[in-house]
């Protein structure tokens, strides 16, 4: 009897040891981040994360703002759901997640210049786990600049960039009478976007919504619908823009659900591109959307330039006119079905809308900072009726366009 109990206990123990692997895609088993911690003060800080298996690690320094970036193989960071690593000491912010296929990244924002004293991944004694350990000490501006300079010499700038454009399909010849629509679910991977009070993440909501919208669009008209991302992965603004342009698309719809300090603000907003923002709120929103590359630990890329060639200028003017038109139609269709914010047509300098030849809008479906909106943003019926209104607007827009 006792023996059977003991055998059973051993079996459970063995099974427990085998199970803490979580699969992301079907059949894909990723190394799992089990726990982590930050300790120390503003002179000396220790950061660690334990994994269930060994991963390749590379560390980099970055400036503007000063950061330490840790690139590792792809890992599952589920441990941190709802329990983020508390920044302390020299570390004022921690972001982590998938940055590209096969790669994850941890970005530590620094309180002041700091130097890596130790960075290692090693098996823990008496444990079946591996610890990535980082020790940093505060240093002065000059030493930090020298570290950056040294790094530039050895790895060049390219080591810091996310992979570029390799998910972009080459342009396909279109059948006459068919239109390509690119849907752009915002954020992804290491960049979660806004978080609701109930823990809802913008990146997940907008992806779900994009799937629903694609289904309705494809069933409703002669539309080929492409998504800039179909999984939880980071994409830089440049990658999104280049995806849109190389897809030879006829319409671009970026989908977001952000948060605002003004918790009472709720409802959907349609944004188009403009150099000068229509209002303060829109200006701040565009600033935060345009800074997602920073969140992911990328170098600040130069502004995607709109060439001031006269032909391009004419194209841009026509594109602006069509974007405006689509925004008018959208507001018209959406206002029958869902709640919009006051003055729902707004504009600002959103980097992602800067393809000169593709009309586009950025839709803020609602605000995760508002409790009622957060509920709606997770409601399938609300997704369906909103996607239905956008689909009707797309049909109306293209029938207007072919008559121009």
- Binding positions for Zn ion, rule: CB under 5 A: 186, 193, 256, 258
Kindly tell me which of 245 and 256 has the beta carbon lying closer to Zn ion: 256
Kindly tell me which of 258 and 374 has the beta carbon lying closer to Zn ion: 258
Q: Give the nearest distance from C-beta 109 to Zn ion in angstroms.
A: 20
Kindly tell me which of 70 and 255 has the beta carbon lying closer to Zn ion: 255
Kindly tell me which of 131 and 256 has the beta carbon lying closer to Zn ion: 256
Q: Give the nearest distance from C-beta 269 to Zn ion in angstroms.
A: 12
Instruction: Report the residue number whose CB is nearest to Zn ion.
Output: 256
Kindly tell me which of 250 and 258 has the beta carbon lying closer to Zn ion: 258
Kindly tell me which of 36 and 186 has the beta carbon lying closer to Zn ion: 186
Secondary structure (H, E, C), the chain: CHHHHHHHHHHHHHHHHHCCCEECCCCCEECEEEEEEEEECCCEEEEEEEECCCCCEEEEEECCCCEEEEEEECCECHHHCCCCCCCCCCEEEEEEEEEECCEEEEEEEECCCEEEEEEEEEECCCCCCEEEEEEEEECCHHHHHHHHHHHHHHHCCHHHCCCCCCCCCCCCCCCCCCEEEEEEECCECCECCCECCCCCEHHHHHHHHHHHHHHHHHHHCCEEEEECCCCCCCCCHHHHHHHHHHCCCCEEEEEECCCCCCCCCCCEEEEEECCCCCCHHHHHHHHHHHCHHHHCCCCCCCCCCCCCCHHHHHHHHHHHHHHHHHHHHHHHHHHHHCCEEEEEEEEECCHHHCCCCCCEEEEECCCCCCHHHHHHCCCHHHHHHHHHHHHHHHHHHHHHHHCC
């Amino acid at each position: 009897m006792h023996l059977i109990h003991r055998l059973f206990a051993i079996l459970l123990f063995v099974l427990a040891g085998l199970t803490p692997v979580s699969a992301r895609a079907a059949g894909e088993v990723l190394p799992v981040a089990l726990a982590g911690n930050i300790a120390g003060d503003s002179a000396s800080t220790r950061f660690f994360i334990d994994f269930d298996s060994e991963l390749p690690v590379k560390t980099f320094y970055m400036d503007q703002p000063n950061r330490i970036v840790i690139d590792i193989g792809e890992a599952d960071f589920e441990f941190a759901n709802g329990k983020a690593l508390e920044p302390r000491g020299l570390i004022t912010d921690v972001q982590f997640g998938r940055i590209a296929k096969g790669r994850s990244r941890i970005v530590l924002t620094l309180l002041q210049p700091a130097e890596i004293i130790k960075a290692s991944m090693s098996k823990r004694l008496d444990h079946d786990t591996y610890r990535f350990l980082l020790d940093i000490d505060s240093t002065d501006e000059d030493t930090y600049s020298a570290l950056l300079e040294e790094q530039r010499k050895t790895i060049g700038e390219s080591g810091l960039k996310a992979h570029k454009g390799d998910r972009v399909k080459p342009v396909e010849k279109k059948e006459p009478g068919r239109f390509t629509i690119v849907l752009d679910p915002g954020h992804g991977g290491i960049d979660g976007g806004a978080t609701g009070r109930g823990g809802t993440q913008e990146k997940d909501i907008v992806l779900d919504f994009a799937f629903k919208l694609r289904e309705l669009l494809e069933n409703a008209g002669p539309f080929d619908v492409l998504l800039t991302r179909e999984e939880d992965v980071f994409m830089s603004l440049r990658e999104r823009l280049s995806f849109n342009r190389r897809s030879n698309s006829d319409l671009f719809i970026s989908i977001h659900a952000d948060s605002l300090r003004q918790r009472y603000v709720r409802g959907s907003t349609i944004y188009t591109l403009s150099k000068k923002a229509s209002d303060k709120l829109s200006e701040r929103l565009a600033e935060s959307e345009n800074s997602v590359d920073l969140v992911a630990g990328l170098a600040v890329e130069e502004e995607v330039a709109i060439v001031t060639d006269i032909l391009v200028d004419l194209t841009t003017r026509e594109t602006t006119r069509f974007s405006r038109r689509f925004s008018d139609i959208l507001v018209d269709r959406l206002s029958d079905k869902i709640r919009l914010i006051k003055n729902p047509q707004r504009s600002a300098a959103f980097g992602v809308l800067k393809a000169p030849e593709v009309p586009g809008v950025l839709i803020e479906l609602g605000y995760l900072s508002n409790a009622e909106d957060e509920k709606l943003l997770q409601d399938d019926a609300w997704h369906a009726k909103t996607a239905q209104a956008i689909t009707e607007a797309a049909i109306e827009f293209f029938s207007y366009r072919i008559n121009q």
